[in-house]
Amino acid sequence: MSAQMSTRKLALAALAVIFTGAEKPKDALDRLSGALDDREKAFLKELVYGVLRYRDNLEWVLSHFLKKPSDLGADTRNNLRMAVYQLRFMRVPQWAAVNEAVTIEKSAGGKAALVNAVLRNYLRRSREIGEPRGGDAVKDIATITSHPAWMIRRWTERIGSDEALQLAHSNNDIPPITLRIDGDRGEALKVLSENGIDAVGTPFSPCGITIMGSRRESDGAGGSEYRRITPRRIPLDPSMYVIQDEAAQLMGYLLDPHAGERVLDACAAPGGKTTHLARLMQDKGAVTSVDTDAGRLLKLEENVKRLGLFSVAIIRGDIRRVAIEGRFDRILLDAPCSSIGVIRRNPDVKYRHAESDLKRLQALQLDLLGHVSGYLNPGGIMLYSVCSTEPEEGEQVARNFLHSHGDFSIIEGAYAFLERFAFRDEDGSLYYRTWPHRDKMDGFFAVRFRRES
């Protein structure tokens, strides 16, 4: 069996557990890819994440050749989706995609003849298939971009159909590697360039670098072309950087901790924001990091040790249950949420939630915010943030919190580069939001509270 055949079978195994909700994509890939080399791991990730990004669009394509796709078993459907994804979006020889899909189906005792017929029929007629044009803009955008219709409807009502389409397309883009540099950004850019890697400073975060990829001489048309690089091929001292999206970096600047302060990171793991807060404080003061997930806390501990930080103390537990002594000058609550703002990194989010989940998550967020706020000193600042674009998890949480906590007010950020992301609600309250399609970064919401007494 060829290496890529084996990789395709691993991809089907990953999709099976992801679509049933048994595992998240990263966990499934980490578990299944241990014996693969870097090239095979990249191929596996492309297959799995590609099908996740375009599942519903692939299903629509297959509906042209199958009377009832839903009557097929899950493994056969995933096999067909994966083959069509390769034929539509990857530089895979047609014969390889078809033959290996058929071979996999035979080895599983599935419908090999049907898979062969569908794929060969697709090859003959693929040019006849355009884009969905049913007259319902929401349904068409949902099918074209493989997003649930409820998401597209919400975005269309808030930002219009053109922007909703842009946002959905942006969610299907493969995000670049973005670094937070805990040192001299110019020196880091120089080292990357000397190693044949093109990178640029992030336009807003003062400590960020976006990696374009390793250089090629030419793309054959007079333009630039890059090879993607894996995180472990980054030629920088591991103690001077963290892989962190620019939007997440901005959260540290919004909280704006100072040396000597006592800071609480209430939902901290895996620690990107914790370590940034410690750096902004020059590692002077105390950062208390709390989280419930033992595995992610281990990653946090590794990051703290790798970066040589001494101001961070880690506590395992639910912030609503653990005993923490004293109060804090600054608090970050990066709350559990729908993760709709990071679909480009976690495309399974599109299929994981129903619209009703937003209200359920809002209740959790308000509960956490109510508990955490009790730890804030008078005059102290608390940042509430979520990686979501949805108002239920953003401004509605802020309004509801203020309604029951009259000793808190909303204040603006301290840095001018944050102004681009600021907006005011109908009552004049000031919030911050980033958008993937507008800002080329993850979608975050944030609000700064100050305790007045």
What's 212's domain CATH number? 3.30.70.1170
* The pLDDT value given to residue 70: 75
pLDDT tens by residue, 62-84: 999 998 877 899 999 999 999 99
Assess whether 193 and 230 both reside in one domain. yes
Marked catalytic residue, from 207, 267, 337, 387: 387
Residue ending a domain, among 220, 243, 266, is 243
| Rounded-to-integer distance, Cα 448 and Cα 431, Å | 8
CA atoms within 13 A on the CB side of 371: 17
Residue ending a domain, among 243, 266, 299, is 243
Assess whether 338 and 443 both reside in one domain. yes
pLDDT tens by residue, 158-200: 999 999 999 999 999 999 999 999 999 999 999 999 999 999 9
User: Is residue 222 pLDDT above 60, yes or no?
Assistant: no
Domain extent at residue 282: 246-451
Assess whether 295 and 235 both reside in one domain. no
Assess whether 274 and 285 both reside in one domain. yes
- The total domain count for the chain is 4
pLDDT tens by residue, 11-48: 999 999 999 999 999 999 999 998 899 899 999 999 99
* pTM to 2 decimal places: 0.94
* The pLDDT value given to residue 3: 62
> How far from the centroid of its chain's Cα atoms is residue 45's Cα?
15
pLDDT tens by residue, 139-152: 999 999 999 999 99
| Per-residue burial over 144-178, b = 16 or more CB atoms within 10 Å of its CB, e = otherwise | bbbbebebbbbbbeebeeeebbbbbebbbeebbbb
Assess whether 201 and 317 both reside in one domain. no
- Supply the CATH number for residue 69's domain: 1.10.940.10
Assess whether 277 and 386 both reside in one domain. yes
Catalytic residue flag (residue 387) = yes
Among residues of the chain, what percentage have pLDDT more than 70?
Answer: 96
Identity of the amino acid at 155: W
Residue reference for tokens 């590794």:
302
Residue ending a domain, among 243, 271, 296, is 243
CB 147 within 8 A of CB 141: yes
* The pLDDT value given to residue 218: 45
Assess whether 190 and 318 both reside in one domain. no
Assess whether 277 and 235 both reside in one domain. no
* Helix or strand holding residue 381 (H, E): strand 376-386
Assess whether 254 and 218 both reside in one domain. no
Residue reference for tokens 């640029």:
200
| Rounded-to-integer distance, Cα 21 and Cα 17, Å | 6
pLDDT tens by residue, 302-358: 999 999 999 999 999 999 999 899 999 999 999 999 999 999 999 999 999 999 999
User: Is residue 433 pLDDT above 80, yes or no?
Assistant: yes
* The pLDDT value given to residue 219: 47
Among residues of the chain, what percentage have pLDDT more than 90?
Answer: 87
SS3 449: strand
Assess whether 261 and 391 both reside in one domain. yes
SS3 266: coil
User: What average pLDDT score do residues 95-123 get?
Assistant: 95
Per the structure block, which two tokens stand in for 301? 């501990």
- Supply the CATH number for residue 292's domain: 3.40.50.150
Assess whether 350 and 260 both reside in one domain. yes
Inter-axis angle of helices 94-107 and 74-89, to 10 degrees? 170
Assess whether 403 and 282 both reside in one domain. yes
User: Is residue 224 pLDDT above 60, yes or no?
Assistant: no
Q: Which of 86, 101, 80 is nearest to 46 (CA)?
A: 86
